[in-house]
Amino acid sequence: MRDPYGRPADSFGYSADVLGFSQGAFTLLRDIIAQRLGVFYGDDKRDLLTDKLAGLVAARGMTSFLDYYYLLRYDTDAERHWSELMDRLSVPETFFWRQPEQILALANVVAPRHFEQRPHEPLRIWSAACCSGEEPLSIAIALAEAGLLDRRPIEIVASDASEAMLERARRGVYYERSFRNLPAHLRERYFTPEGQGWRVQRRLHERIHWSTANLVEPAAVRPLADAHVIFCRNVFIYFADQTITDVVRVFGGSMRDDGYLFLGASESLTRLPTEFDLAEIAGAFVYVKKSAARVAPAPAADAGAYRRF
């Protein structure tokens, strides 16, 4: 028997007529997905991965997950299939003013400190898994509220691996769930009602440069990570430790010397070998590039707001 690409069916040790999601097909797909997209499905997440892939497999009239694996590996249109798969695996759970203490630490401590030390150097901020855009827009709102967005050179770049999420971000219209944590007066100030939702003010939306980038592709990450501040929140929870270590190494290699890395509340680097130290700034946890902590200690004025562990 031959597989869909004409090779002997047992070339991976599995026959092509395997129906359903055998352990072998699961392992092959899980590993290639982790390698290509970062997202790792452990054995306990097998049902979840099955649910997510079933529609894509069925839509192609395929009868086995192994056929879908071959499609991802060898099809001439594999890039399109990977993009579709990324959209399918993306977890679009995000909202404005998520972990506001981090956003406020950036606007009220990190950014003012940056302009005190380097008044003419643009502050570069990257939201590295921006989903539908609520995170970078919250950053822009906080900087506008601090009176910095229009008065200081600030560049905000936002990216995600999912084209579908970026499409939503580029559209700039948001619905009730996205506003569950944003103070009402900020919604009134920066959004206008449109249909069932709210459109973000154009001047804010235009301050953000939107792009696609996969965190596990160093060539895509390096230019974006050449930043003073990276927000990479609530995506490492889906990655294996080795992948996180590799991505953070690329961040560290490109970030500015006094770089700040904000992660999600349930994410931690402390057990991994990285060049970042955990610090607390104005009640928010942040990772600071080690060299930065040595050469650029917090200035006396806000020393009380800054603690390194």
Contacting positions for ligand SAM (CB under 6 A): 37-39, 90-91, 93-94, 98, 129, 131, 135, 160-162, 165, 214-216, 233-235, 264
Q: Give least dist CB 223 to ligand SAM, A.
A: 15
Q: Give least dist CB 291 to ligand SAM, A.
A: 26
Query: What is the distance between the alpha carbons of residues 286 and 276, in angstroms, rounded to a whole number?
Result: 9
Residues in contact with 153: Cβ distance below 8 Å, sequence separation at least 6, in sequence order: 120, 121, 122, 123
Q: Give least dist CB 203 to ligand SAM, A.
A: 22
Between 94 and 274, CB nearer to ligand SAM: 94
Query: Which amino acid does the sequence have at 292?
Result: A
Between 16 and 169, CB nearer to ligand SAM: 169
Between 160 and 258, CB nearer to ligand SAM: 160
Q: Give least dist CB 158 to ligand SAM, A.
A: 9
Q: Give least dist CB 243 to ligand SAM, A.
A: 9
Between 135 and 258, CB nearer to ligand SAM: 135
Between 112 and 172, CB nearer to ligand SAM: 172
Residues in contact with 239: Cβ distance below 8 Å, sequence separation at least 6, in sequence order: 34, 38, 39, 40, 247
Query: What is the distance between the alpha carbons of residues 252 and 270, in angstroms, rounded to a whole number?
Result: 15
Query: Cα 269 to chain center, whole Å?
Result: 16
Q: Give least dist CB 226 to ligand SAM, A.
A: 17
Q: Is 119 exposed, middle or buried (0-12, 13-18, 19+ CB in 10 A)?
A: exposed
Between 168 and 207, CB nearer to ligand SAM: 168
Query: What is the distance between the alpha carbons of residues 81 and 73, in angstroms, rounded to a whole number?
Result: 10
Write out the H or E segment, with its range, that includes residue 262: strand 260-263
Query: Which amino acid does the sequence have at 158?
Result: A
